[in-house]
Structure formats: C-alpha cells, structure tokens
Chains A and B, each alone.
Chain A
Amino acid sequence: EVQLVESGGGLVQPGRSLRLSCAASGFTFDDYAMHWVRQAPGKGLEWVSSISWDSGSIDYADSVKGRFTISRDNAKNSLYLQMNSLRAEDTGLYYCAKDNYNSGSSSSTFRDWGQGTLVTVSS
C-alpha cells in the first residue's frame, strides 16, 4: 500500500523559512516523479512543484519560483520542499503526491496523495 506522510508544517512569520518533508513507502520511490500541491483554506488545488526520479528535471509554479526548492533523497525514500521568504499567500495545506507513471518523468497525473501538512504564514 502506498503511503505518503508529510511533516514540517506549522506557524511561521512572513519572510521566514520552513522545510516540508514527505516520507514515502509501499512503492519503489526512485521509479517515480514526485510533486507538491497546495490548497489555501477554502480554495482549490494549486500545483507547486515537480521533480523527476533522478532530480534531473525540476519545475515550479511561477508563484513560488525563486523562493521554494524541491528535492528528494532516494536512499531515504523522502521528498522535501524548502520554502524561503514565505508570504501570507503561501498559507495552506501542502500535499505530497506520487506520479501516476513509473517512467520516472513528471506527468500531470497525481496518483497517490498524502494527507497534507498545514503551513500558516502570519505575524
């Protein structure tokens, strides 16, 4: 059974940093691209970032480019999101998601999702 468990969320002041983690199990982690998707309170889903199996291809939404960094450690079956210069509009539930295909490349289909970790940016 695929399991994705996010952690690292919390309350942080604007301008500060936070690092999210996603622990993956139940599948061969380095066969799949991985993604971060967020959801502001009461709002829709927003894609944040994607990373290929070997970290060779990384993409970001314009809203976070230059501030967020996605990374992965295949030896630890873990995905990360380093978030710097946080803004109030970054507040939301951050989901880790596994790609649908075991090609290792990033698609737009998110097969499995974690339960999310809540990030609140407020002074």
Chain B
Amino acid sequence: SSELTQDPAVSVALGQTVRITCQGDSLRRYSASWYQQKPGRAPILVIYDKNNRPSGIPDRFSGSTSGNTASLTITGAQAEDEADYYCNSRDGSNNHRKIFGSGTKVTVL
C-alpha cells in the first residue's frame, strides 16, 4: 500500500506563517484532505480537494499540491491553531482504500 509522510513536528511564532507538508506517490493522482485534531477532540476537516475550505474554517488555512507533495499553509497562525494536523488521500495502489499521513504537531510559540 501507499504511504503519506509528514514531518512529526513544526513550530511557528504567533502571527507568522507555517507550511505543513505531506509526501506520497498517491498525491500525484488523488487530491489531499487535511484535518486538525486538538487533544481529546475529534478531527475537523480544514481543507479538501487541494484547496477548498468547509464553512467555518478561517481563510488563514490554505492548501496546495505540487507533484507528490501536498501542503497546508497557515498564514498568520493563532494560538488556537496549535494542534495535530493529518493529511489523507486515496491509496495510490488501491483507490478503494484510504490512507492517512502520520501527523504533524504544530506548536504556536
């Protein structure tokens, strides 16, 4: 099966910009979605189909894809953005399956 690789942790100063990446061969064929998860809470969808935001998600969240890498960018990070972020997509070797990245812990300093 395919894999999605994420950096384990990144930090960002309050108000600055942070980019979280997700790498995998499946991203050449299938779009990525991104989820935010805070401790003890269920995940929340923040970006889908590369760069679409569900209603209620602030526009400081944006997504992009280039080649085998999808990115989630937080422009002007806020304290409440501190969370784990997961990417996911279809499995490139079997598109009936879904896969998640290992997650990135974002710390807002």
Contact = CB atoms under 8 A, between A and B. Distances in A.
Nearest to A110: B45
A14 interface: no
Contacts of A100: 33, 45, 48
Contacts of B100: 37, 44-47
Given A47-B98, A95-B42, A95-B43, A108 B33 contact: yes
B88 A45 contact: yes
Interface string A61-94: 1100000000000000000000000000000000
Nearest to A58: B96
A109 interface: yes
Interface residues of A, number: 23
Nearest to A93: B42
Nearest to B37: A45
Give the bracket for the number of chain B residues in contact with chain A: 20 to 34
B78 interface: no
Interface string B75-95: 000000000101011100000
Contacts of B90: 108
A49 B100 CA distance: 13
Contact of A45 (B1, B49, B86, B97): B86
B102 interface: yes
B102 A44 contact: yes
A114 B46 CA distance: 16
B102 to A, nearest CB: 5
Interface string A106-119: 10111111111000
B103 A45 contact: yes
Contacts of A61: 97
A105 to B, nearest CB: 11
Given A108-B90, A109-B48, A113-B42, 9 more contacts: A35-B98, A44-B84, A44-B101, A50-B98, A108-B33, A109-B33, A111-B45, A113-B44, A114-B42
